[in-house]
Amino acid sequence: MDKPPITSQGYKALQEELKNLIKVDRPKIIQDISDARAHGDLKENAEYHAAKDKQGFIEGRIQKLNHLIGNAHIIEIAKIKSNKVQFGATVTYEDLDSEETTTWKIVGEEEADVKRNLISYKSPIAKALIGKEEGDEITIKIPKGTLEVEITEVKYV
């Protein structure tokens, strides 16, 4: 299996999340389980079952983060010198119909967050943009149909 790419910022965020889960969340949930046990009968103890479910989630996330961090291919975006869109690019394009501009940063799957304009390199929009450069007019297939756009800026920051 190939190592999944991730930006250095995304890698640091995963490390911080892992550190927080191990040093803060895990000890807290262990204490919550202990407190819930003290309330007696575990069969009907909702607090205990909720805490055990949360513990399972935390332990699963710790395992996943350890795997991601151990197998990540870290990309230093600031070192990329290219006119073409590739992983790590921040791309601005103009919709040729509405003249609205949109900006996306192409990142790894684990760090994608549409609300922060971070899209996975595996997303349909990123796939349509990769390999193109400023001035290119392209058609992007989206769930609602297609977008006709012109790439107005490609940068690596």
- The answer on 151 and 84 residing in a single domain is yes
Mean pLDDT of all residues in 126-145: 94
Q: 139: which 2 tokens?
A: 């058609």
- The answer on 48 and 32 residing in a single domain is yes
Phi, psi at residue 6, to the nearest 5°? -150, 145
- The answer on 59 and 9 residing in a single domain is yes
Predicted confidence band of residue 57 (pLDDT cuts 50, 70, 90)? very high
pLDDT for position 104: 97
- The answer on 67 and 135 residing in a single domain is no
Q: Which of residues 75, 96, 115 is at a domain's end?
A: 75
Picking from 144, 97, 100, the residue whose alpha carbon sits closest to that of residue 125 is: 144
Poorest-confidence range of 4-8, 30-34, 37-41? 37-41
pLDDT for position 142: 85
- The answer on 85 and 150 residing in a single domain is yes
- Supply the CATH number for residue 98's domain: 3.10.50.30
* 1 pLDDT above the threshold of 80: no
Poorest-confidence range of 52-56, 57-61, 125-129, 141-145? 141-145
Residue by residue, DSSP assigns 104-151 as EEEE-GGG-BGGGTEEETTSHHHHHHTT-BTT-EEEEEETTEEEEEEE
pLDDT for position 69: 95
- The answer on 140 and 85 residing in a single domain is yes
* 90 pLDDT above the threshold of 60: yes
- The answer on 112 and 70 residing in a single domain is no
Q: How many domains does the chain have?
A: 2
Q: Which of residues 32, 59, 75 is at a domain's end?
A: 75
- The answer on 63 and 18 residing in a single domain is yes
Phi, psi at residue 2, to the nearest 5°? -70, 150
pLDDT for position 143: 84
Q: Which of residues 55, 75, 95 is at a domain's end?
A: 75
Domain assignment of residue 45, given as a range: 5-75
Q: Which residue has the higher pLDDT, 2 or 145?
A: 145
